[in-house]
Structure 1
Amino acid sequence: MDSEIEQQLASISSTPNQKERTSSYFTLLSTLLSSSPLSPNELVTFGRHFVTSTSMAMVVGRRVLGTYVLALSAGTSMIKSGTSSLTFDDEGSGDNDKFEQLGIQAFKSEKGEEARRDIVEGVLAGGNLSGWCEEQTTVLRHLYSHLLQLEEDWLEAAKALMQIPLEGTSRLISDEEKLAVYIKIVRLLLECGEWGQAQTYFSRASLLIHVTKDKETNLSYKLSQARLFDFSARFNEAAQRYHEVSFDGAIAEEDRLQMLKAAVTTSILAPAGPQRSRILATLNRDDRVHTSLLPSLSTMLKKMLLEYIVRQEEVKEFESGLEDHQRATVEGGGTVLERAVREHNVGACGKVYDNISFEALGNILNLDAENAENTARRMIEQGRLRAWIDQPLQLLYFESRSAHDTDAEAQGTAGGLGIENKEKDIEPRLWSERWDDRIRETSIKVETLAEQIQQKGLIPPITTA
């Protein structure tokens, strides 16, 4: 049957009169769309006849192929963003409604969407597409991506858009169209967890984001940025972006609450330190956190903010709501959440104790003494914990707690709730270097004292027998 269609197409293409040739192509296309049952293979053959031809008269080819694409797109919910340049001349405009209706009728059956996808896939398969029809094949790639999204095949939908030639092409492409394609690719890749590839296309979008004032595009950009921060474990930045997006009135209320939930979650997963404390305080002032989210999230947020010690059962309840990438293991063992809670509990101990042994700290963190020491040392070196280590005595001394603070005062004033604590800056050096300096200073003092004692003659000279 395909060979019969090929023969008809070859016969039509040899017609010398362009008007008659165009009319014959339209007649054949109408017949194929009206056939019952619909034959996807015949429509693929019809489409490939145009997209692979290097000798097609452009006036005829663009008009017929444009109508063919219109028929394939008819009845879909695809938003033809960036495809508005696909136009038809006045002479053929009267047939557009006819072929759009034929397209709707052809694919309205139960397996119509599957047939539509197979046809578009068949036309685009194999490559070797001619350059004269880039405009029409671009629309087909948008359509193919849309159909794959309906099947939730996010990766293949992204790959379909990646095939659209945006650079080094004869087609005039605006920066806004490029930006729209890049952002759509990023969002599709994030849906399937391919955040490494998504970062590549997001970088391209970042170079063009300044050209648009479209609110939806800017919102998609911010949301993509937040999710990329989330996937790459930059939780402080992710929380800020999620919280910012959660105030956008263009998003449905349910989606805004999802963004707020993501902001709270990522702020809790963020490494302990001043930056996270600021984010936690900002979120705690948002009434929606306490009225619209799960109580477990609100409780966890308050404990992190007030620097209370978090118990294991609370960690398990919070962990049940995490996404897969937020359960990733980290260097030193444990998950992202376990690391965040361990570091938080180290800081919380500083609000209760002047010093603590590594063994006791390990019991609180569910670690052995050596790993508890390593956790505290890493936080000190990164400037996220004001403390120093007495290694011979296996003790951790906290510097941020005033001598007159009580346990209640330490818990009540943590997180910057109305009381400003003036704390000295931590020297930007390794604590091992500071320890060496203290030993050197002590040795110098001992030598100085010994010299003064000898000068005053308080020690009799040593005589040999």
Structure 2
Amino acid sequence: MEVDSDISSQLDSISSISNQKERTQSYLSLLTTLLSTQPPSSNALITFGKHFTTSTSMAMVVGRRVLGSYVIALCAGTSMDKKGTSAIPLDEELSNDQAKYEDLGKRAFKSENGEEIRRDVVEGVLSGGGLSGWCDEQTTVLRHLYSHLLTIEDDFLGAAKALMQIPLEGTSRLISDEEKLAVYIKIVRLLLECGEWGQAQTYFSRASLLIHVTKDKETNLQYKLSQARLFDFSARFNEAAQKYHEVSFESSVAEDDRLQMLKAAVTTSILAPSGPQRSRILATLNRDDRVQSSLPPSLATMLRKMLLEYIVRQEEVKEFEASLEEHQRAKVEGGGTVLERAVREHNVNACGKVYDNISFEALGNILDLDADLAENTARRMIEQGRLRAWIDQPLHLLYFESRTSHDTDAEAQGTAGGLGIESREKEIEPRLWSERWDDRIRETSIKVESLAEQIQQKGLIPAVSVA
């Protein structure tokens, strides 16, 4: 008998049987036949599945048992993580059938192209829409399975879209907050794998509203890692470095993965904009013994140079740049990459340890920029309160403000003597160079007027009478 040619007619014939028990057994007998064929026909299995998932008149007792057995067979033998997956409702009869259909499913899809057939069947059943509401539990499991199969093929965007189709709101199915949270986090992780961080942020926001409901360590860890990667993708490198470093201490994470997180923490801390916040995370990472012992020497050296405010050379930048991910090479406003901006701003601060003042031409030579761009870089940092300096516009000089007695190198990094005791940074009010220039003229005028008054009081010059 050719199953493909008459499967529809057999299903129609079975559906007309009035006795529910007999009808159920006939459906299960046909399913057994389809799964026993080697290799199984994907078209026949799709037709069988859609007969149930699109039916609006299916008897619940019959449909749940038969479709449940069908889904069990499709999931059999896969490595799909059942955590966060809607469970198939198991009554006593379906529980008795479970082992049988798991065995049938394993044998049906064990051939060379068995996984391809399995994927085609699941995709075929879910395609076209029109799925009935009575079988939400079963179709939800199929969507999780479809997402899992696409993930194996590295189709992360397709896998995420499969999970997006799961109805989590406005459905008759009772869905726990734990299940919703698990689905949202899975979607976020899949979207991040394919670089769709904008969409990932939307689902992460939904997960953030539910994260308080779980005490599961693995779920919380996945949440933290997703948050770190979102900070990374959105160029919030200071926050990313802190989260990566936090995850790198999790004992439940494999040693290699913890070192990978530590490496990501160091990388993002170097890419962060120059300023007190970055100085603190640099100092924290520098005190982590694993940086020196387990990470590449070039990375540890780059971290130390950034921490101690040594000028970073172009050859060192190129070596570090080779290890960056694609999104970390993005162009920034004003020209150059994220790394180039970070290094330039760092080198401006580093000049403050060497010089009292520097011309913009000389600063440009150090930053590999022309004088105007070097001035713009310094001005932006001053306005944002990330550089203690002021600009002498007529002389084209950048003056670095002298550090106070308590503002030592260790203090500048946010620590007291490098012991990890947090110190409060003195905030610098962002001011335009023109405002500073006006203040200096005002101060000079006041001093001149004061000197003139003192000279007049001592009688060194006669008072001028006004007629």
Asked if Structure 1 and Structure 2 have the same fold, meaning a TM-score greater than 0.5 normalized by the shorter chain, the answer is yes
Give the structure 1 partner of residue 340 of structure 2. Answer: 338
Q: Could you say what secondary structure the match of 2:263 adopts?
A: helix
Q: Which residue of 2 aligns with 1:385?
A: 387
Matched letter for residue 117 of structure 1: R
* Corresponding residue number in structure 2 for 1:127: 129
Aligned equivalents of 1:422, 1:265: Cα separation in 2: 25
1:286-365 aligned at under 5 Å gives the runs 286-365=288-367
Q: What runs of 5+ residues in structure 2 fail to find an aligned partner? A: none
Asked if 2 retains the 8 angstrom alpha-carbon contact of 1:40 and 1:115, the reply is yes
Deviation readout 1:16-37 (Å, 9 max, x if unpaired): 0000000000000000011123
How far apart, CA to CA, are the structure 2 residues paired with 1:423 and 1:16?
Answer: 81
Q: State the partner residue of 2:183.
A: 181
Q: Greater shift after overlay, 410-419 or 228-237? A: 410-419
> Would the alpha carbon gap of residues 402 and 98 (structure 1) be closer, same or farther in structure 2, given more than 3 Å must change?
closer
Distance in 2 (alpha carbons) for counterparts of 1:303 and 1:453: 54
Aligned to 1:418: 417
Q: Which runs of 4+ in 1 moved over 4 A?
A: 410-414, 419-425, 443-457, 459-463
1:76-128 superposed Cα distances (whole Å, 9 cap, x missing partner): 00012233531322234332211111100000011111110000000000011
| Structure 1 position 454, deviation (Å) | 8.6
Partner of 2:241: 239
- Aligned equivalents of 2:128 and 2:344: distance in 1? 54
Match of 1:102 in 2: 104
Q: Could you say which residue in structure 2 is the equivalent of 1:271?
A: 273
RMSD: 2.4
Letter in 2 for 1:290: Q
1:218 aligns with 2:220: yes
Verify the 8 A CA contact 2:389 2:401 in the aligned structure 1: yes
Contact 1:71 1:102 in 2 (8 A): yes
Corresponding residue SS for 1:351: helix
Secondary structure of the 2:302 match is: helix
The unaligned stretches of length 5 or more in structure 1 are none
CA contact (8 A) 1:387 1:398 kept: yes
Return the match for 2:24 from 22, 25, 41: 22
CA contact (8 A) 1:354 1:401 kept: no
Structure 1 Cα separation of the partners of residues 332 and 94 of structure 2: 63
SS in 1 for 2:92: coil
* TM-score, normalised by the number of residues in structure 2: 0.93
In structure 2, what is the equivalent of residue 427 of structure 1? Answer: 429
- 8 Å contact kept, 2:178–2:213: yes
Q: CA deviation at 1:413?
A: 8.3
Match of 1:155 among 134, 154, 157: 157
- Give the match for residue 13 of structure 1: 15
In the other structure, the counterpart of 1:197 is: 199
For residues 55-66 of structure 1, what are the structure 2 equivalents within 5 Å? 55-66=57-68
Corresponding residue for 1:170? 172
CA distance in 2, matches of 1:19, 1:413: 80
Cα pair distance change 1:180/1:92, threshold 3 Å: closer
SS at match of 1:426: coil
Of 276-285 and 30-39, the range deviating more from structure 2 = 30-39
User: What SS class does the counterpart of residue 93 from structure 2 fall into?
Assistant: coil
TM (norm. structure 1) is 0.93
CA contact (8 A) 2:247 2:261 kept: yes
